[in-house]
Amino acid sequence: MNCTQCNDLLFDYIEGLINDQDKHALKAHIRTCDTCQSLLKDLQALQTRLTEHGQNLAQIELEIPVLGAIVRRQKQQLKAITPPSPQLRRPIMKSPITKLAIAAMVIMGCVLGITMWSGTQSIALADVLTRMEQARAYLYKMNMTITQTGDLPAGYPPTQEVESTILIAPEYGMKMTMKMGMIANQTMVQEQYLQPQNKRMLMIMPDQKKYMEMELTDQLADQYKKQNNDPRMMIETFLNCDYEKIGRSKITGIQVEGFRTTDPSFSGALGGKTNITLWVDSRTRLPVQMDMDMDMSMGAERTMHIKGIMTDFQWDVPVDTSVFEPVIPDDYTSLASSPIKMPEMTEETAIVGLKQYLDYAGQYPEDLSLMRVMSGMGKLMDSNTPASKALKQSIKGLNQNDMTKAMMDMMMPIQATVGFYARLAQEKKDPAYYGDIVTPDQPDLILMRWQIEDGQYRVIFSDLTAETVTPQQLTELESVLPQKESE
């Protein structure tokens, strides 16, 4: 072999692409030729330099930030083409009222169960992400410890353990089994089924032999269908919040990357102080674990601390579809006489919910966090408002089921108000609520507001009419609000 032939083969040699015969010849030549030997060393040094520099840069992970940015941009584009909502000034309907512990429990279950993994109702790439080719089912566990401090009702356990297993199949819906530690060491088991295609949600309590059925509106069913579809939705929710990367770690031998957010809008309806860490498998980009730490106020003297962990994720779990179609045994009775209608979380429902609360409690809720409103439900029944008296009167003769139904119907719009507000927060629509300083006898004061298209704001006044205003008008409206007593 001569130098020219050697030169021609050197690159293939360092890339390991030449045959044995050429390799022997080349090595033999190099042993005797200083020039080619030094050239080989040069090429190898350059190869190392390129490889190391390339690997160093390739450590970067752009997948999540890029997909996140695409989602945000698509959302902006969609917003730009959505027509503004029509002006709303309509009489508010009246309806009966009440409260019920079991109903509150059920609703809390729904909100905890659904809000935790659903996240924002974004369209766009989320929409896109949902159209994953294979219908797959996945499973995870969620364990929560709920600790309450302060002014608790007698016999109320300060600490509750909730263990849930959640199974989700895009085509069929969701099944969640919840085991809750209750008063006096009793446990309560609750199964929840979400069947978007049947537009219903079903709650079964096997120990009590009770069940409850709820009807979903088309909009809610669609929304749940979309949310169910994609395991990466939690990541999408994260991307909508302010989050930080916290680096790599290992969980049960899996290389993971961590993301943390303290953005309260992540937990939506739950509100309060939030600290969420999501661990994602570096290789598959699927979630491995989520740690949750939340503090929320339930009134002036009471706080709730939720510490939770979502773990044991299993992907592509084979499931029998009958799992999602429970057969209710004959000896089970329904908690309500007919299916409860789940209201849509819209401005109109929010107004109905606020009106409802006002009628029964004689005032607006002090704030719109789930826990505060739920813990305030008791007051609704005890108050002496005409509505409350009328309700107590009207349910007197009813059987238990009709009574439950009446109470649930009353509570649903109030729950929807909370849900609506939480969604505005999750979608970063700059919502604010002034129920703590505004009373119904000040009709021109602003009670609630949020941002809509083009930087305009939607405002609900204390007389429960709604209007669209400019940011300047909003500033004026907010400047005349009374100061809080404590300030």
Closest separation between CB of residue 159 and another protein, Å? 42
Closer to another protein at the Cβ: 43 or 309?
43
The minimum distance between CB 32 and another protein, in angstroms, equals 22
217 touches 201 (CB < 8 A): no
Q: Angle 236-168-347 (CA atoms, 0-180°, nearest 5)?
A: 55
Q: Smaller CB distance to another protein: residue 9 or 88?
A: 9
Q: Give the footprint of another protein on this chain (CB under 8 A).
A: 10-12, 15, 17, 42-43, 46-47, 49-58, 60-63, 65-67, 69-70, 73, 125, 128-129, 131-133, 285
Residue whose CB is less far from another protein, 65 or 386: 65
Nearer to another protein, 16 or 153 (CB): 16
Supply the minimum distance, in Å, between the C-beta of residue 63 and another protein: 5
Q: How far apart are CA 63 and CA 27, in angstroms?
A: 44
Shortest distance, position 204 Cβ to another protein, whole Å: 35
Question: What's the DSSP call for residue 171?
Answer: T
Q: Give whichever of 67 and 373 is closer to another protein, judged by the CB atom.
A: 67
Minimum distance, C-beta of residue 182 to another protein, in the bound complex (Å): 42
Nearer to another protein, 89 or 283 (CB): 283
Whole-number Cα distances in Å, 426 to 15, 66, 118, 120, 440: 52, 21, 11, 6, 28
- Pull the structure tokens for residue 472: 């300047």
Nearer to another protein, 47 or 187 (CB): 47
103 with 210: CB under 8 angstroms?
no
Nearer to another protein, 179 or 285 (CB): 285
Contact between residue 304 and residue 292 where contact means Cβ atoms under 8 Å apart = no
Residue 271 in contact with residue 369, Cβ under 8 Å? yes
CB of 24 to another protein, least distance (A): 19
Q: How far is the CB of 219 from another protein (least distance, A)?
A: 23
Is the separation of the CB atoms in 420 and 412 below 8 Å?
A: no
CA atoms lying within 13 Å on the CB side of residue 276: 27
Neighbours of 91 (CB within 10 A): 6
Least distance between another protein and beta carbon 122 (Å): 14
Alpha helices in 362-385 (DSSP H): 370-382
> How far is the C-alpha of 384 from the C-alpha of 145, rounded, in Å?
36
| Minimum CB distance to another protein smaller for 8 or for 301 | 8
- Give least dist CB 319 to another protein, A: 22
> Which residues are within 8 A (CB) of 250 and not within 5 positions of it... i.e. 6 or more apart?
256
Cα angle value 395/199/111 (rounded, 5°): 65
